[in-house]
Amino acid sequence: MGRRLGWCLGLPVRVLRGSLAVCRRQSPLAVRPVATAPCCKPGCGIHHAAAGGAQREAPTMLSAHDSTVSSSALASRAQRVPLPLPSAPRAPAEGGRREAAPEWADHALRATRAELQHGLMQPQAQVSPKYLYDARGCDLFEQITRLPEYYPTRTEAAILADSGAAMAEALRGSEVLIELGAGNCEKVRGLCRSLRPRHFVGVDIAGAFLRQSVRRLAEEFPQLQTHAVTADITEPLTLPPHIPQAGRLLFYPGSSIGNFDPVQAQRMLGQMRAMVNDDGGLLIGIDLPKSTQWLEPAYDDAQGVTARFNLNLLSHVNSLLGSDFNPDDWEHVAFFNAEHSRIEMHLRARRPLIVGWPQGLRHFSAGETIHTENSYKYPLPEFLGMLACAGFGPCQVWTDERQWFAVIHAHA
């Protein structure tokens, strides 16, 4: 990146040999990360945002649900319920097996149904985008990342490849690589090759999909100690005690932080800072503002894959809530909201509808929408300021030539 940003948000910025470094301004006021604030789950943590923005009443904060296991035992683990759960039991011994207690799963399902009903009964109906990611949703999103219109995945991958040597130097000493919203674990492979960490921890709400991905990673890197943790990453996350504290590098690619409005994103960054010691850091990707000529097609492709992805949410809601949504009654809508610098995705009723479920019903007028996600596009100076406010130190930034996307290394 060849241009000097100068002073922005009170942060001195200087250029370092093809990257950009930000020095955190010292302040007499200590900034403490917020690790327990409620916020919505963006799904697998790939590219989608919590619906409703600041107007949404966030659900009650729940503890993260971990399901950690060594690579040798991944294949034998029981599938766990990929829902927010009220408490996290003690992690099993490495390679151990643990079954979810029935009352625990029942509580999770009740909480899920309450959250869904609450969102559907708001004046602007909304469903958290974490419900986009059932098994079919994950498969559809994999297809989205390969579409010609969807630039974020390939642009970020090019940055990671082109600047790999510089990143490896900057990230030297990272012994524990933790990917939030790990999904298929595809992007982390290059870091595993260049950094040679001792541990990899994949964290994702889609537990079965994650375990398959981590198992494949373990086969490719047999010396790597791998761990799969099923959790809602928007909630306070305490990793199992056998994961070392020192040398932690959090990896949050795909501009998943755009899943949150500025207040939620600030809280999320605070939670990330709380997960690393002073010798750790964060490697994060962000999608930068650009023309709607490129933004809107990325979320409304010509082949209709994103539309199927969005509509699949209704089938997932039916399975959880017992509702009677008919996806044929709805159409996918995506547009850029310039006032809030975000892409919005909605499902729009094609005709007047009554949708029911065991505990209630909702009338929808023709043209009325359900808000299913946002994807914020944070300007780089603004986001660097947010990292500083979360307690992170100096940053290095790598971008593509068009400056459409940025990968940032923030020191703890």
pLDDT tens sequence across 37-47 = 333 333 343 33
Does residue 306 fall inside a structural domain?
A: no
Does residue 81 fall inside a structural domain?
A: yes
Q: Picking from 86-90, 316-320, 379-383, 387-391, which range would have the lowest pLDDT averaged per residue?
A: 86-90
Does residue 331 fall inside a structural domain?
A: no
| 212-218 contact pairs (CB < 8 A, 24+) | 213/182, 213/183, 213/184, 213/185, 214/71, 214/74, 214/182, 214/185, 215/71, 215/74, 215/75, 216/185, 217/71, 217/185, 217/188, 217/189, 217/192, 218/71, 218/72, 218/74
Residue 103: the pLDDT is: 59
Burial of 172 (0-12, 13-18, 19+ CB in 10 A): exposed
Does residue 303 fall inside a structural domain?
A: no
Does residue 297 fall inside a structural domain?
A: no
Overall average pLDDT of the 171-184 stretch:
93
Q: Residue 71's pLDDT band (boundaries 50, 70, 90)?
A: very low
Q: Residue 220's pLDDT band (boundaries 50, 70, 90)?
A: very high
Overall average pLDDT of the 109-130 stretch:
96
Overall average pLDDT of the 358-387 stretch:
97
* Residue 62 pLDDT greater than 60, yes or no: no
Does residue 366 fall inside a structural domain?
A: no
Q: Residue 286's pLDDT band (boundaries 50, 70, 90)?
A: very high
* Residue 214 pLDDT greater than 60, yes or no: yes
Q: Residue 60's pLDDT band (boundaries 50, 70, 90)?
A: very low
Rg (CA), the chain: 21
Residue 205: the pLDDT is: 86
The residue range of the domain holding 118 is 53-88+102-291+377-411
Q: Give the tens place of pLDDT for each residue, 312-351.
A: 999 999 999 999 999 999 999 999 999 999 999 999 999 9
* Residue 59 pLDDT greater than 70, yes or no: no
Overall average pLDDT of the 394-411 stretch:
97
Q: Residue 15's pLDDT band (boundaries 50, 70, 90)?
A: very low
Please give the tally of structural domains in the chain: 1
Between 234 and 297, name the one with better pLDDT. Answer: 297
Tokens describing residue 222: 């047999």
Q: What percent of the chain has pLDDT over 70?
A: 75
* Residue 283 pLDDT greater than 70, yes or no: yes
Sign of CA dihedral 118, 80, 375, 19: positive
Residue 387: the pLDDT is: 98
CATH number at residue 170: 3.40.50.150
Does residue 337 fall inside a structural domain?
A: no
* Residue 159 pLDDT greater than 50, yes or no: yes
Overall average pLDDT of the 252-259 stretch:
93
Which of 388, 149, 393, 402 is CA-nearest to residue 288? 402
Does residue 82 fall inside a structural domain?
A: yes
* Residue 166 pLDDT greater than 70, yes or no: yes
Q: Are 204 and 183 in contact (CB under 8 A)?
A: yes
Residue 107: the pLDDT is: 84
Q: Picking from 82-96, 198-212, 244-258, which range would have the lowest pLDDT averaged per residue?
A: 82-96
